[in-house]
Amino acid sequence: MTSEAAQRYGSRIDYFHMAIKMSVNLPAADVKTLKLLASKRNTTMTEVLRQAIGTEKFIDDAHRDGSKILVEDKRGNTRQLVFR
């Protein structure tokens, strides 16, 4: 660790909370959906992406552990989501 990094982050760099700027290419329809979700949630597109990544990780972990993911509609009908 450089002395500049040590001064900025203390004796340890917290990579988990350190933001990294990225550039991504998305279809226009996905960008439109991202903007719509951000607007509905009164948040940023970045926050919607963070939430989506967290949800994807949860689903992936559950799937790898052999868990089932169930969705119950407003009538009480339950369906299992099947992933790749």
Q: Output the pLDDT for position 11.
A: 60
Say yes or no to pLDDT of 5 above 60.
no
Under 8 Å between Cβ of 8 and 22: no
Of 55 and 20, the structure prediction assigns the larger pLDDT to 55
Q: Output the pLDDT for position 15.
A: 67
> Half-sphere exposure of residue 83, counting CA atoms within 13 Å on the CB side?
15
pLDDT tens-place string over residues 22-78: 999 999 999 999 999 999 999 999 999 999 999 999 999 999 999 999 999 999 999
Q: Output the pLDDT for position 17.
A: 73
